[in-house]
Amino acid sequence: MSSISPTPTPTPTMLDASHVPYRLAASYIRSVLVSKSIPLPAVGIVCGSGLSGLSDAFDDDAPSIVIPYSSIPHFPSQCSVVGHVGEMVVGSLNSVPTMCLRGRFHPYEGHDASDVVLPIRAMRCLGVRLVVLTNAAGGLRDEYVVGDVAVIRDHVALPLLAGGRGSCNPLIGPNDVELGTRFPPTSDMYDPKLRIIVRDVARRLGYDDFVRTDPGAIYAFVAGPQYESRAECKMLRDALGADAVGMSTVPESVAARHAGMAVLCLSLITNKVVYARDDDEDDAGGGHAHHEEVVRAANGRSAQMTRLVGEVVRAIGESYLPALEALSPIDLDVRGRVTNGEEGGEGEGKQRRRGGCGILLGGSIFSSPFSSIPTHCFIMGGAILVVGAVLGSRMGRRS
């Protein structure tokens, strides 16, 4: 009689320390939702500057909860930008289980790219299948006016194309294979079907005079925090074909698509960019962007944006979500799976990433703070010392 071999235990997927924080954040959020009998979200919304009122549209007859960012493990403690509240609301929006982030993190605040997209990856770990990203943007296209809503069809991201650890690219570093592939495409970043849904909803609401869906907008991502110069605006518009410009969203879009989620992006045009001034102007005045203008414009369109996004989510829940392919679940248990650092997510791996491309010689004089100095700086410094020594010796022989 032949014996039956036992079924082998599957080998767990190993994780880098950088893959731990969003799993722990999602695990905490999940435990809170389960304890309150609130369904896990299928749609995630990120509110841009002055657009946090979107969470006010949640269904009153369904359970919901507000979770401050400060209470979530590994979330940055607060949003420092005016118009970003710093909390998430989870509940039901027009009968669709939804998570709304009232405030985002920006690279110009000093956050690593991994921290900027941590909420997006936490959403994916919770089972979110589609994200709606909203932002406040400057209008580059001539026909755009303040108050228009541009539906994004593509983007240009110079900080991401530049490469390097300071490029705002959330995919740099060890790849999390449970989220997505090492080399994800971005040619399908923004689904045209979602743009059609927005167009149809806008027509039904009578918003088609300010919701720009055809052909959609190209969004230029810049690092900020300074607003763009006139020459930079001309380059973005004339050379790169951008229609709107802003300091957020694209890192989140890239992280979401890498993780398999669908992405819809709506840009509220809150200011017109300045291209040129008259030759007889004495200074650089004559019009410039400022954040107060951005927040004021966002507040002026807040009620309509709230209704627009709410009805778009309703339509997405009725026709779009059921047709999406199911996403594989993410294992939130990190015990015994971290290859470097600590299972709390703050081990050596995090220190190495924050050290940039500097050399690490553990236990020597080149540990912190020298570990953050790029290798080429050490090489150049050494070369300068050698050249100086040679020249000094020659001058000494001549004297």
Rounded Cα distance, 358 and 97, in Å: 44
Active site residue 291: yes
Active site residue 258: no
For 143, phi then psi, to 5°, come to -80, -10
* Active-site residue (options: 19, 84, 111, 258): 84
Active site residue 267: no
* Active-site residue (options: 80, 108, 223, 302): 108
User: Measuring CA to CA, which residue among 188, 186, 212 is closest to residue 199?
Assistant: 212
Q: Give yes or no for a cis peptide into 225 (omega within 30° of 0).
A: yes
* Active-site residue (options: 291, 293, 342, 372): 291
**What is the torsional sign of CA 165, 171, 176, 177?**
negative
Active site residue 326: no
Rounded Cα distance, 201 and 368, in Å: 55
Active site residue 49: yes
Cβ within 8 Å of residue 51, ≥6 positions away: 83, 134, 136, 268, 298, 302, 305
* Active-site residue (options: 136, 189, 202, 242): 136
Rounded Cα distance, 57 and 171, in Å: 33
Active site residue 84: yes
E-strand ranges in 192-310 read: 211-221, 244-246, 262-272
- Per DSSP, what are the bridge partners of residue 68? 87
* Active-site residue (options: 74, 106, 111, 258): 106
Number of neighbouring beta carbons within 10 Å of residue 109: 17
Give me the amino acid identity at 52.
Answer: S
* Active-site residue (options: 52, 114, 167, 248): 248
Active site residue 376: no
* Active-site residue (options: 22, 28, 49, 244): 49
Active site residue 248: yes
- Per DSSP, what are the bridge partners of residue 132? 45, 264
Rounded Cα distance, 158 and 221, in Å: 7
Active site residue 247: yes
Q: Give yes or no for a cis peptide into 12 (omega within 30° of 0).
A: no
Active site positions, annotated: 49, 84, 106, 108-109, 136, 247-248, 271, 291
